């Protein structure tokens, strides 16, 4: 399928095709939920999603590699990645496939460079910030680590309204996904010395880092932790509700993909609740059969949208494919940050 995706996106340069293919492999290997939803997009849009995921994954892997590298080594690796990124933005060559594919996608779809700047800044903070006192503090971090991912995706997905109208919802969905990941990965993040859930939210139920570490170490449950994690889940659910209206603003051929990702990620919260908020001890996983049952309706909606566009149904005629920068009639179509 990789060659067909690249052909559909009119990516013919051999080196770029190799770079995009590597990003697709990263997405398939590490982002199971994200990758499954991406397969509901039209062929010509998938490679851009893989490129953006690949670049984000490269940076994330650098800052999370704590087993065999020092903080100074991780900082140097992130510096090197950022230098490669800056060089690619200036039109220079790079041997990093994630950088090459992401830089090409950014240029092709006119994604604002500041979204990548903000992302790299948040990744850098992961090298030394180990906890967040308040939700406001966490939101500042998540702007760069999650909201801008949603903003990067808007030009890929296309909209039926001016781009800036859809952006706040896309940013909120990125935050909702990351809050879900924070809750799912509480135990693994503790092992890395991090607690992403706000300290004031935890403290409201009498929970602190020491109690979480005790629970992780002993395998013992504590009702205070259960209550705090329930509050964190409720917080995430609130952000999902804020984000959901934005799905209707997307190009009809892209909306089923985002709807499926929305439902799949929300299902992680449902699994966490059913398992009694045991995420300190084990990661909650949505089973393959359940993922497939959620994705199937999305596939049907995606096919219906594509058929509708081919037959000219009026309800689906407002969406249009993302265009390359040189084809844009005016600068007014460029995105703005939320």
Rounded Cα distance between 306 and 319, Å, is 11
**pLDDT by position in tens, the chain (length 338):** 589 999 999 999 999 999 999 999 999 988 777 788 888 899 999 999 999 999 999 999 999 886 678 999 999 999 999 999 999 999 999 999 999 999 999 999 999 999 999 999 999 999 999 999 999 999 999 999 999 999 999 999 999 999 999 999 999 999 999 999 999 999 999 999 999 999 999 999 999 999 999 999 999 999 999 999 999 999 999 999 999 999 999 999 999 999 999 999 999 999 999 999 999 999 998 888 887 787 766 666 666 665 555 545 433 333 334 444 433 333 333 333 33
Helix boundaries (H) for 126-162: 135-142, 148-157
Query: Long-range CB contacts (< 8 A, 24+ apart) of 312-315?
Result: 315/252
The confidence score (pLDDT) of residue 305 equals 64
Please calculate the CA angle 19-110-306 and round it to the nearest 5 degrees: 80
The pLDDT, as a whole number, for residue 317 is 31
Per DSSP, 105 falls in state H
DSSP per residue, 34-82:
HHHHHTTS-HHHHHHHHHHHHHHHHHHHHHH--SS--HHHHHHHHHHHH
Rounded Cα distance, 206 and 215, in Å: 14
> Which pLDDT does position 72 carry in this prediction?
93
| Matching residue, tokens 């889940």 | 233
- For residue 56, the model assigns a pLDDT of 96
Contacts (Cβ under 8 Å, ≥6 apart) of 57: 26, 27, 30, 31, 98
């Amino acid at each position: 399928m990789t060659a067909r995706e690249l052909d559909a996106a009119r990516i013919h340069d051999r080196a770029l095709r190799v770079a995009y293919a590597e990003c697709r492999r990263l997405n398939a290997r590490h982002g199971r939920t994200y990758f499954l939803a991406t397969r509901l997009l039209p062929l010509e849009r998938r490679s851009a999603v893989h490129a953006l995921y690949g670049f984000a994954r490269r940076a994330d892997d650098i800052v999370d590699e704590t087993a065999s590298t020092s903080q100074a080594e991780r900082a140097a690796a992130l510096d090197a990645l950022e230098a490669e990124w800056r060089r690619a933005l200036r039109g220079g060559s790079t041997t990093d496939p994630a950088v090459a594919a992401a830089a090409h996608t950014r240029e092709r779809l006119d994604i604002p460079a500041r979204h990548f700047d903000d992302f790299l800044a948040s990744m850098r903070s992961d090298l030394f910030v180990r906890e967040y006192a308040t939700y406001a503090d966490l939101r500042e971090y998540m702007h760069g680590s999650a909201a801008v991912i949603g903003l990067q995706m808007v030009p890929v997905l296309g909209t039926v309204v001016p781009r800036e109208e859809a952006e706040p919802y896309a940013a909120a969905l990125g935050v909702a996904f990351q809050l879900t990941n924070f809750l799912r990965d509480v135990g693994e993040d503790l092992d890395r010395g991090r607690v992403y859930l706000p300290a004031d939210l935890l403290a409201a139920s009498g929970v602190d880092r020491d109690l979480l570490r005790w629970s992780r170490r002993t395998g013992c449950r504590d009702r205070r932790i259960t209550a705090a994690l329930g509050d964190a889940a409720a917080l995430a659910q609130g952000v999902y509700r804020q984000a959901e209206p934005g799905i209707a603003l997307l190009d009809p051929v892209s909306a089923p993909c985002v709807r499926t990702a929305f439902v799949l990620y929300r299902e992680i919260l449902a699994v966490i609740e059913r398992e009694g908020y045991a995420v300190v001890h084990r990661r909650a996983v949505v089973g393959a059969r359940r993922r497939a049952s959620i994705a199937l309706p999305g596939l049907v909606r995606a096919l219906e949208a594509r058929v509708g566009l081919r037959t000219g149904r009026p309800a689906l005629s407002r969406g249009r494919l993302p265009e390359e920068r040189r084809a844009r009639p005016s600068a007014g179509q460029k995105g703005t940050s939320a």
